[in-house]
A = this chain, B = another copy of it.
Amino acid sequence: MKYKLALIGCGTVGQGLLEILTDKGEAMKEAYGFEVKVVAVADKLKGTIMSPSGLNIRKILTVLAAGKPLSAYDPGKKPLAMDPLEVIGACGADMIAELTYTNIKTGEPATSYIKKALSLGIHVATSNKGPAALHYHELRALAEKHGAFFRIEGTVMSGTPVFTLAENGFPGNEAREIKGILNGTTNFILSKMEMDGMDYPEALALAQKLGYAEADPTADVEGFDALAKLVILSNVILGGRVKTSQVKREGITGITKAMVDEAKQAGFRYKLIAETKRVGSKVTAAVGPQKLPLSDPLAGVMGAQNALTFDLDLLGKVTIQGPGAGKLQTGAAILQDLLAMHRDLR
């Protein structure tokens, strides 16, 4: 089947997705009978291009790699002055990849984009934590009402399969608890403090230099990023109704080198752990530093990696470890979602 795809937002992840579609298009067609043409790309900063017959992906990538606006795709044409919201209604897409920036407080403008698409019966895949953390159940209900899919693999651990794994790998199992390392930046900092003897400011500076941490590192080091992902896991996998404001949160800024060393001497390791569990019908969640024994599968997760342990009634503990961010890694998450839609649409 051949789908019409629109990208809303075309930063790093969007370009990663486009690269994958170019490089893997033939293989996807052969393996799954899955074909895609990109009918629109709309980005608040870079502009909008649309073509019902399909855009040339390589050409889009060349334009963006040169740092040009999307209007440079077809210099003969007058640039389209359209808001992404209009594009969603006008482009005729079957599937939308919503890849705009995350706003964890309001979820906007992504939530409005997603609602518009779902209301039109257009399937949505997003890697945006905002809408999923704030409005998951509402968006799922809207999707079901209009016969559309709403998928979010890229919101947690980028393309490392989390929701796909829970959906396909654990049938019959009930998840009692999910516990993980969901923020690569803080894990990198804690790893450097223990392994290379850095103190916190030094490790943070290195993380910033390497591009793991932002100039304002608050979202990472104070646990907000991990919290958003944890709320998504709580609500999607454990079926909770957890709100971001209800989650206990502590970051790693209070962890000193002395504490890390003392823990190490005693055979423990500090990790920023995001943890959610169901007790009866209630799901609770918390983010904070924990001293793990080295025998815990999460203790061995070093550097910018992420990992998640599912505690399941039939299987016991199953842990998945992999990348938590990255251009191709998050692009691959969107592809996972699109292919899952294709599987269910065939």
Contact = CB atoms under 8 A, between A and B. Distances in A.
Interface of A: 20, 24, 27-28, 31-32, 158-161, 164-165, 167-173, 294-295, 297, 299-303, 305, 314-323, 326, 328-329, 331-332, 335-336, 339-340
Q: Which of A315, A317, A323, A336 has the most CB of B within 10 A?
A: A315
Contact of A315 (B168, B301, B303, B329): B329
A42 B321 CA distance: 40
Contact of A28 (B171, B294, B340): B171
Contacts of A318: 160-161, 320-323
A329 B314 contact: yes
Contacts of A160: 315, 318
Contact of A300 (B164, B294, B316, B326): B294
Contacts of A302: 295
Contact of A314 (B297, B303, B316, B332): B332
Contacts of A322: 315-319
A-side interface mostly:
mixed
Nearest to A322: B318
B27 A172 contact: yes
Q: Which of A158, A300, A328 has the most CB of B within 10 A?
A: A300
Nearest to A337: B171
B172 A28 contact: yes
Nearest to A163: B169
B169 A161 contact: yes
A315 B158 CA distance: 9
Contacts of A323: 315-318
Contacts of A164: 168-169
A297 B339 CA distance: 29
Given A164-B168, A301-B297, A173 B316 contact: no
